[in-house]
A = this chain, B = another copy of it.
């Protein structure tokens, strides 16, 4: 057990003042060559490293960023974290991850825990409960205190801050259009209630593509589930009640599950029925057949979010100008549709 050594220890040992040690270690011009060498050698020998907490207190900067997300088991959030981590780490920042588990209360508690000095800024995606309630006071409090916030994916327009999203409407539009081009006539949508900002946008994209075509919209071909939670019964009932030849799903799990239902009915994919999902995860890649998806570029989204946040944290000016970055989704073509 060799406990951490402090400036005071070095100062005592070398019989100089703490200030001298501090300056010597920073190679200050003020200190003589001799003293600097002595101090630096001693510091290296005893492996001196400044205490982060003390520096944070002095600088009022922690070099930590708080990430509050609804879930970590979903591939999309996982890749976003990776993107954040990558950028933040390169800039010398650490990432504190908090999970709201889709709960408003947990989101609030997590933010309060972090907002008292632990972090320099937040990157977050709203819990479904928060979007449903429409209560964003916890965000307002934080921004009021001057703590920078970047919202990604699940955002709200009621808070002024930087935002990063993908063009979900465009993604769904592209996917639906693809179905139409390939001659599909009965195109279903499996989504969730509109309170989730992403689902709403995706539904709009789907509707837009259909309205532009001669097919038109058939409300009975839209299944709105209460949440992103898997609900096998509802999906099965929906799939059984319809004559479909294409299905667009708001995530990859819904898509893979409904593919299986179709296969069980003896339908051939993609000849009889085609599928497209959202989120380019492991599931899509290794499903059988592999699933065509709208990729959300989670890692990129994480990097962009981290860059926006850190830029704001490190900028001197107090300009209150916020931007919303919209990333382009891309269609990753796999075997669940015609190539």
Contact = CB atoms under 8 A, between A and B. Distances in A.
A99 interface: yes
Contact of A117 (B52, B89, B259): B52
A204 B98 CA distance: 38
Interface stretch (A31-39, A76-84, A170-178, A211-219): A76-84
A146 B72 CA distance: 31
Nearest to A318: B1
Contacts of A72: 72, 78, 81-82, 85
Interface of A: 1-4, 49-54, 56-57, 62, 64, 72-73, 75, 78-79, 81-82, 85-86, 89, 92, 94-99, 110, 112-118, 144-146, 253, 256-257, 259-260, 263, 281-283, 286-288
Q: How many copies does the complex hold?
A: 2
A198 B115 CA distance: 39
A82 B73 contact: yes
B51 A116 contact: yes
Can you list the 9 inter-chain pairs with the closest CB atoms, starting with the nearest? Answer: A51-B117, A52-B117, A53-B117, A256-B286, A49-B116, A288-B288, A97-B97, A52-B116, A52-B118
Contact of A283 (B57, B78, B144, B286): B286
A82 B78 CA distance: 12
Contact of A145 (B1, B51, B86): B1
